[in-house]
Amino acid sequence: MAARTTSTLRSQITCSRVRWAHVGQTLKRYLFGANPKGGVILISLLVVLLWKSGLLIIERQLIFGWDVLCYGVLWFFAFCLLGIFEESISHGFLLYTLTRGLTRFYRRVFQTRYSATLGFWTSAAILCLVFSFVHSGNPGESPFGLASVFLIGMFVCLSIWRTGSLWCAVGIHAAWDWGQSFLFGVAKRNDEPASPPRHASSGSGNS
């Protein structure tokens, strides 16, 4: 009887682990897949939050019909190239090099088995802070916008940590910029509207 109970418990634990593993793989696939929907979802959530907080005003639509499709495709292609370029430098070369150096530092000083983890996330935080500081020079930038730049940067680093690939970061980056500049048309300056279908005035910095 005891053996049967133990076997049943083991089976239940195994099934539970399998279910949670499936949930984890599903979240990894949908949140960190190499497609750009994650970036569109994130920028959409930010826009809704700003709009509901009264920090963003959505005005009239600027282009219509066939122009929406043509300009949408062209701008998405442009932002994909921009994403590849910027992510290859910032979260590719710089993140890898800095992580490598800090991991060696943590191993020598602290001699901990978490050196690689500490090295990666310390590097991620440093680069995201530097990236936010660079955006602080944008005209009309706000503390909320700088915080969003830092958080999206950390989310991109999380995608790299979880997937081991830079393609997800490229997709998120490209979709974020496309959503902000074309889909929602957030002005980069207080007195300069963007040229997409919809003009929204806010200080939520471009990546």
pLDDT (tens digit per residue) in 106-158: 999 988 889 999 999 999 999 999 988 887 777 767 787 788 889 888 988 99
Residue 150 lies inside a defined structural domain of this protein: yes
pLDDT for res 61: 67
pLDDT of residue 204: 46
In a domain? residue 51: yes
Residue with tokens 């940590």: 161
Q: Are residues 108 and 145 in the same domain?
A: yes
Q: Which residues of the chain have pLDDT under 50?
A: 2-23, 27, 30-31, 34, 189-199, 201-204
Q: Which of 162, 174, 153, 150 is nearest to 84 (CA)?
A: 174
Identify whether 207 is part of a domain.
no
Tell me, yes or no, whether 182 and 86 share the same domain.
yes
Q: Which residues pair with 58 in a beta bridge?
A: 200
pLDDT (0 to 100) of residue 124: 95
* Residue range of the domain that includes 67: 35-201
* Same domain (yes/no): 20, 55: no
Asked if 105 and 170 sit in the same domain, the reply is yes
* Together in a domain, 25 and 53: no
Predicted TM-score (pTM) above 0.75: no
> Do 51 and 23 fall within a single domain?
no
Whether residue 159 is found in the same domain as residue 195: yes
Q: What is the pLDDT of residue 179?
A: 85
